Structure 1
């Protein structure tokens, strides 16, 4: 009898351990989520926060070189749309989830048959090097992408290290096998985006060069080193620049064969091979912001071998390490896919931006070395200050410190000493509004995650908030608001500046800089200067103090707001919700306003004018796809009906996030949409970064175990959890009742257990 019982008990113990210690979390990530419609994510291979994002392009061009319009650039911010039938090639740099486009550097495409150096069209891929493909023959995993290129009968596989893209192409038997390197291709590609390109054929397996572009980033240079696993038979190039004299006659393109150095604005290279059936040709493609020598050193340091599976496995182990920081049990398998895909998207950026020796290109276009920190780029701060960086203060505190040091380096290199607004690849894009670096810095200081010179950081915040050449700050300081005639987004700017000023005040108070605190606390009340008590909404006013007469609270067109209208943007006072509610008529009237936000119907004329009118990301007049609304559902916590927050956030989770390619209700915006999902699923949210408080919501998980970098563990547990039991009956922290509607950062970072007791009816 013992011989039977003991094996059974061992089996049960093993299966229980396997269920609770699932370390292969990569399998729950679906990188195809958000690749359809407006999610603007990419499905390709990358490691956490990696410098290389190696991903397929289904289209990239806004204009062909003949000036013919080739579709809306907004559609291809990440280069890939799930419903497209063809693949143009595989490039090495991508944004994740942005509403603007750039990058798409160094497109590689393997082909067979007659050499063609134009990309062809979606309708006629046979007229170029692009290929049809099927999702049935497509696999997307963290740090691995695989697809069959039907027109060329080639299996393409992609993986990466931090700075190196690794391609593996399985060819058929062919006397005409080619690998094309297209330096003209790029996302947001006007014909004049390329400033200059240079390629040097070092030998029959090594290519080096660089690409200079002037797109969204006006001055961007990326260097590369490209290594083949097999020598090519011959090679050639084509320059698609303006017609020029070549060998005594005028030709449309400058074509050269086996010429070792070529420079021009529109270069395309090809490399010819002879392949046997199922022969694999591999390519290592390393990037550098500094030099071809740096790219080559990155390659030799990170991938000194040709073992594709080893690189794939190493990258997926990195992903499992990061994903394993939160181990969740969910109500449905789809919820688990949503959660870990959100974790994946949140950890794609900001991205590493330096060579293995620490060198990087600075904002001043000089080369610098990161001493004592890792340098990062791609700061979409208008989006990510809200939830992504607060999430990093919990799950990625060391990285967040390095990101802030990268921002301070940006400040040092700025001619006017200003922190980044929206920056990437050693460029400031000046996109969107506010100076939200100060929110990220203040949040880290308030939460004790500030292993940097905090007083220098505060000085940088103050200097940034006083830069009079940016965003009508001069008028804002003088008048206490941005006047209508100075900006079409005057009200939004005033509201966001006021919040940022409050953040500066909180950091100053923490550092006992009371003169700074007094100045910026006063400025943080400037939001009241655009509040019209007669209408109950914020409203544009001119330099003389007169509110605009012709005003529509529901219209998004020219009403003083950006990505919103007066009805929803008037709720953007995250740092002073109590005063906002009072000015809007008190709690009862405010709740009615907030209720209507989620239930009203807007005709199409009230939507922003884009290529296509769309209701994606929209619930009534609540626009989840636009970040200014992300805190709004939590504002019921400042009323006597907090149970409505619980109801709303669970509803938003279900409506705006699905485990499908079109499962994101708007641009993921460099991880902000995903960070909202993570926080909200766990049951709390940072309404006002710069505070140590997180507003309570309604957790959508059964249980979450969070491994903190300080060695402690936080458990979020739920009792009576179900799809219908969305209302919180009570909350306990380490067994003691929580008698408030927020958690503190200290409670989270000290570890322990937070228990939510759920029910099907509101606890009023």
Structure 2
């Protein structure tokens, strides 16, 4: 024991300058397998913080349609991996984290031995294809590292990654027939005609380049690659599975299927042959670029100019330790540590870098652009992430968040619609979900002072976006003060979300002394009142003639004017003015019972009749934590005379919806939004209205946590008498002075200091 301690001490001293503390090993608390079972839709593979490459195993290939009908099973595979699957198809390089849709899974690689098979096979009969059985007993997932034993091929697969390069290491048995398959047909959500074109060029016996162009969720998406082998292959070939002739374009003068230096087609699978000795390692470096194969090669040479797999792993994990070290928390139990730092890890997976090391990237106009003075990002799931993820970045990643704002403004400049992003990725706008919530992200950054670019230019982009009459019912919203349900569906949700975004615009206009804009959008921010039916006490769809929709069910989610919610929970969505909403609903006496019932009522089975079983995930009463519209709801008690109920509800949600297990997320992580909710709530406060500069207090689960702010200051949260029983706040002090209201200002955090919660077992009424 003493000898081991001495060796450990020598190791630390060897890499730590005298007088400095060794870096914290926070990577050990992260379990990337959390959320990979059921509907968390996270991926377990290797990636760097905010990395462009997400190198991860895919466990099935699911067609989007079966016999012309939507295949419900595809929803399970938004991240490509499901924990309860028994086989792995291969390892692809692009994945979304926690979404309800997907479009990626580019460039799948699979090592095999024995007779060459170029089809993936099936889960029931993996031996008929190149896929392999695997066991979780021989699987390991860490930040920037993934390992699994491929049982059918007796190959140990290991993955790591830098920002733009995925690195594979495959340990083979002795074999005269070892292969590495590169499948350009594979994708998550396999539309039959998803591939527009693929191209591969054999540069030499260790370097391959090419690209893939797809037409899926993103209408036109092109990804370039460079693939390098640590060992020359002995031969190579391909098979084209498209209906087109294999030899088209070469007048049938060449056999493209074997050892031909160029391969092109819509449905290509390629292979590379090797002879291996027992325990021999073949390594692959696989770089991506949004611009060109030259860009991919340059990315590879810049980020991984060597073949040291362990070095890449260690350096990437050091990056993760640095990023995770932005929050240093003391927590009650091991499970709490795992939950907390895995959530922090999930929030740092995206948005993802989208540019070469030179700063070049593909723009929304499908031209190449140069990012000057900022890192260009993509994957903006804004309907989800404006609520907590981007406000979280404003605290712990303000420079990155400012670059994300710059990326949104570049998107606006390249948009023929003159609109900020709604749900965008890889130089495409998907127009998924509702609202124009880039506005919220930009406003929050400007109001809190973390975006230091041209604020007036940013405001102009927000205003132009909010005035685009052809977008999703906005023409009616501007004319009538609401979206009419008979003209545009999900009308109540849209009206409420537009009103909040308009309030954000008004706040920035006020700060910049743009009085005309301030007056216009302050009026628009009141439009939520136009869909509130005071006769029943709920938000309700209104028709274009000014009357409320007659056939109306406050619990139903089907054709009732709402999206991912119903009247019961969306009636609580006025984040920019909860006090006015509560007053309109009859004050505390009527509002508090309504809010109580959200968490305590029992939904009848008919509620799920028109939905998939996935809707049952993340539900507490009628509160659906797996969907975002009610994420702020538990904090609304702070605007009533019963704020202690916020404390007990938040603790209940934290305990029920987050577990350190593969099925530990109560719904999609939604690009980090669910995890950001957890982090804020664990620290004891939450941004009910981003751009307000204020947080509502809750009930922290940390014993102590320190935020390492980018301005060099620290902000510490301490919870005295912390325990599972002591969920109620007795008093709160900021820098030793009592807070007399359950709110905390962003400015107070930015100054640095200490927030102290005194906890107890009974509510302080």
Q: Under a length normalisation based on structure 1, what TM-score does the superposition of the two structures give?
A: 0.96
In structure 2, distance between residues paired with 1:171 and 1:409: 46
Residues 707-763 of structure 1: per-residue CA shift (max 9 Å, x gap) = 100000111011111010000000001111111111101111111110000000000
Contact kept? 1:72, 1:611, Cα under 8 Å: no
Q: 1:58 — aligned with what? A: 59
- Residue 68 of structure 1 deviates from its aligned partner by 9.9
Partner of 1:525: 526
Deviation at 1:479, TM superposition (A): 0.1
Using the TM superposition, give the Cα deviation of residue 339 of structure 1 relative to its aligned residue in structure 2, in angstroms: 0.3
Change (3 A) 1:106 1:66: farther
Local SS of the residue matching 2:616: coil
Q: Distance in 2 between matches of 1:355 and 1:389?
A: 24
The Cα shift of 1:614 comes to 4.2
- 5 Å-filtered alignment, 1:273-672, equals 273-607=274-608, 609-612=610-613, 614-672=615-673
Q: Is the 8 A contact 2:94 2:105 kept in 1?
A: yes
Question: For residues 697 and 762 of structure 2, what CA distance do their matches in structure 1 show?
Answer: 17
Q: Secondary structure at the match of 2:670?
A: coil
Task: Determine the structure 1 residue equivalent to 2:98.
Answer: 97
Structure 2 residue matching 1:629: 3-state secondary structure:
coil
User: How many angstroms does 1:606 deviate by?
Assistant: 1.4
Shift of 1:22: 6.4
Could you tell me whether the CA contact under 8 Å between 1:404 and 1:440 is conserved in 2?
yes
Instruction: Tell me if the contact between 1:331 and 1:723 (Cα under 8 Å) persists in the aligned partners.
Output: no
Q: Please list the CA deviations of residues 109-129 of structure 1 after superposition, one character each: whole Å capped at 9, or x if unmatched.
A: 000000000000000000000
Deviation at 1:605, TM superposition (A): 2.0
Secondary structure at the residue paired with 2:313?
helix
1:147-162 alignment, distance < 5 Å:
147-162=148-163
Q: In 2, distance between residues paired with 1:166 and 1:510?
A: 48
Take 2:644 and 2:65, find their aligned partners in 1: how far apart are those partners?
54
Q: Write the distance in 1 (CA, Å) between the matches of 2:764 and 2:52.
A: 48
Task: Judge conservation of contact 2:669–2:675 (CA < 8 Å) in 1.
Answer: yes
Relative distance call for 1:610 and 1:169 in structure 2 (3 A) is farther
Name the SS of the counterpart of 2:461 in structure 1: helix
Task: State how far apart, in whole Å, the 2-side matches of 1:474 and 1:70 are.
Answer: 35
C-alpha displacement of 1:705: 1.1
Point out the more displaced range, 580-589 or 605-614: 605-614
Deviations 1:260-294 (A, max 9, x none): 10111001100000000000000000000000000
- Tell me the SS of whatever aligns to 1:485: coil
Please report the RMSD computed on the Cα atoms of aligned residues, expressed in angstroms.
Answer: 2.0
Corresponding residue SS for 1:271: strand
Equivalent in the alignment of 1:82: 83
Contact 1:376 1:406 in 2 (8 A): yes
Q: Which residue of 2 aligns with 1:138?
A: 139
Partner residue in 2 for 1:111: 112
CA gap of 1:714–1:174, structure 2 versus 1, over 3 A, is: same
Report if the CA contact (8 A) 1:555-1:607 is conserved: no
- 1:641-693 alpha-carbon deviations (Å, 9 max, x no partner): 00000000000000000000000000000000000000000000000001010
SS at match of 1:72: helix
Map of 1:4 onto structure 2: none
CA–CA distance in 1 between the matches of 2:433 and 2:393? 22
What is the distance in 2 between the residues matched to 1:137 and 1:345? 23
| Contact map agreement 2:52 2:352 (CA 8 A) in 1 | yes
Contact 2:256 2:263 in 1 (8 A): no
Following TM superposition, where does structure 1 have runs of at least 4 consecutive aligned residues deviating by more than 2 angstroms?
63-71, 243-248, 607-614
Q: Which runs of 5+ in 1 are unaligned?
A: 1-6
Report the alpha carbon displacement of residue 451 of structure 1 after superposing the two structures with TM. 1.5
Match of 2:169 in 1: 168
In 2, Cα distance between the equivalents of 1:520 and 1:71? 41
- Please give the alpha-carbon distance, in whole angstroms, between the structure 2 residues aligned to 1:60 and 1:621: 34
Distance 1:519 1:51, change over 3 A: same
Shift of 1:247: 10
Are the equivalent residues in 1 in contact too, given 2:240–2:246 (CA < 8 A)? no
Q: CA deviation at 1:706?
A: 1.1
SS at 1:223 equivalent: strand
Report Cα offsets for 1:151-188 as digits up to 9, x if no partner: 00000000001000000000000000000000000011
State whether structure 2 residue 257 is matched by structure 1 residue 259. Answer: no
| Distance of 2:546 and 2:699 partners within structure 1 | 43
Counterparts in 2 of 1:164 and 1:638: CA distance versus 1, 3 Å: same
CA contact (8 A) 1:556 1:607 kept: no
CA displacement at 1:612 relative to structure 2: 2.8
Matched with 1:680 is 681
**Matched residue SS, 1:688:** coil
Q: In 1, distance between residues paired with 2:410 and 2:227?
A: 30
Residue pairs, 1:687-706, within 5 angstroms: 687-706=688-707
Secondary structure at 2:182 match in 1: strand
Alignment of 1:117-266 (within 5 A): 117-242=118-243, 244=245, 256-266=257-267
CA change 1:71–1:537 in 2 (3 A) is closer
Number of equivalent positions: 747
TM-score, length of structure 2 as denominator length: 0.96
User: Shift of residue 469 of structure 1?
Assistant: 1.4
Shift, 1:487, TM fit: 2.1
Asked if the contact 1:61–1:185 (Cα under 8 Å) also holds between the matched residues in 2, the reply is no
Q: Deviations over 1:378-422 (max 9, x none)?
A: 000000000000000010000000000000000000012100000
Q: Distance in 1 between matches of 2:748 and 2:205?
A: 60
Q: Distance in 2 between matches of 1:658 and 1:486?
A: 43
